[in-house]
Amino acid sequence: MRPVTEQGYNKTEAAKRLGLDRNVLARWVKEFQDDESDAFRGHGKLTSEGEELRRLREENRRLKMGRDILKKGTAFFAKESS
For 16-72, how does the pLDDT look when each residue is reduced to its tens digit (9 = 90+)? 888 888 888 888 888 777 765 554 555 667 778 888 999 999 999 999 999 999 999
7 touches 1 (CB < 8 A):
no
Same domain, 4 and 39: yes
- Cβ neighbours, 10 Å, residue 4: 20
Range of the domain at 20: 1-45
Residue type, 33: Q
pLDDT for residue 35: 66
pLDDT for residue 42: 53
Same domain, 51 and 40: no
Model confidence, pTM: 0.44
Which has more confidence, 63 or 6? 63
Residue type, 79: K
Residue 56: Cβ-neighbour burial (10 angstroms; 0-12, 13-18, 19+): exposed
